[in-house]
Chain A
Amino acid sequence: NAGVTQTPKFQVLKTGQSMTLQCAQDMNHNSMYWYRQDPGMGLRLIYYSASEGTTDKGEVPNGYNVSRLNKREFSLRLESAAPSQTSVYFCASSPRMGSSPYGYTFGSGTRLTVV
């Protein structure tokens, strides 16, 4: 099925460990995004990539890095995980940032726990 695929679905890390969350879309979208969702906080933008070859910080970028590997793939890396990074992470994509249609397509999320 066409859409946004995230891996892994679940992950438990120890404080200080590193990991990379993977995201791939097969809709030929130009723009991709990483959000985190915490109870009562809604969706907060971590990083985004308006187009292949570009990345920019969102609202809460500290502690994260991203790589837009190619048009399809956008990864999120935690270099040294902290308990405050326990969250559900969503990847999303859209045809082109700032242009109609504006709706984002979301993946099903990665549930990360840092102990």
Chain B
Amino acid sequence: GQQLNQSPQSMFIQEGEDVSMNCTSSSIFNTWLWYKQDPGEGPVLLIALYKAGELTSNGRLTAQFGITRKDSFLNISASIPSDVGIYFCAGLNYGGSQGNLIFGKGTKLSVKP
């Protein structure tokens, strides 16, 4: 089935640094979503992207839908300790399994004060 390759698998950074992570796929997606999972909680939607080339911001977070429709990236600027967690990308192909989201395996972010 469809798979998303998310990288890096983990990051350990200093507070204040910028963070960048990305997802790639061999298949085209029509929608890209980025989620964050805090320890012990379920994932929470951060940003949704619906058009190729779209660049969307949510506070210190910026995400882009790749022109080829096969990739997306998420940037976090000036990281803070509460950014700790696992970030998941998710893609949706209208023609895929009846509209199921496909999730990447996650990027675990650790922030050192």
Could you tell me which A residues sit within 8 Å of B by CB distance?
Answer: 4, 33, 40-45, 48, 50, 56, 58-59, 90, 92, 97-109
17 sampled A-B residue pairs with Cβ under 8 A: A4-B42, A40-B9, A42-B88, A43-B88, A43-B103, A48-B100, A59-B1, A92-B42, A97-B98, A97-B100, A98-B98, A99-B99, A100-B50, A102-B99, A106-B44, A107-B42, A108-B40
Q: Is the interface of A mostly helix, strand, loop or mixed?
A: loop
* Residues of chain A lying within 8 A (CB to CB) of residue B33: 102-103
Could you tell me which B residues sit within 8 Å of A by CB distance?
Answer: 1, 6, 9, 31, 33, 40-45, 48, 50, 88, 92, 94, 98-101, 103-106
Partner of B45, one of A48, A59, A97, A103: A103
Q: Is the interface of B mostly helix, strand, loop or mixed?
A: mixed
Closest to B89 in A: A42
A45 to chain B, nearest CB (A): 6
* Residues of chain A lying within 8 A (CB to CB) of residue B106: 42
Query: How far apart are the CA atoms of A19 and B98 in the complex, in Å?
Result: 29
Partner of B41, one of A33, A41, A109: A109
Contact B100 A58 (CB under 8 A): yes
Closest to A105 in B: B45
Contact B50 A108 (CB under 8 A): no
Contact B100 A45 (CB under 8 A): yes
A83 to chain B, nearest CB (A): 22
* Residues of chain A lying within 8 A (CB to CB) of residue B50: 100
Partner of B104, one of A42, A98, A103: A42
Contact A98 B48 (CB under 8 A): no
Contact B45 A104 (CB under 8 A): yes
With A97-B98, A97-B100, A103-B33 as known contacts, state yes or no: A40 contacts B42, CB within 8 Å.
Answer: no
Query: How far apart are the CA atoms of A40 and B9 in the complex, in Å?
Result: 8
Contact A108 B42 (CB under 8 A): yes
Contact A40 B43 (CB under 8 A): no
Contact B42 A90 (CB under 8 A): yes
Query: How far apart are the CA atoms of A99 and B99 in the complex, in Å?
Result: 8
Query: How far apart are the CA atoms of A109 and B37 in the complex, in Å?
Result: 11
With A100-B50, A106-B44 as known contacts, state yes or no: A42 contacts B105, CB within 8 Å.
Answer: yes
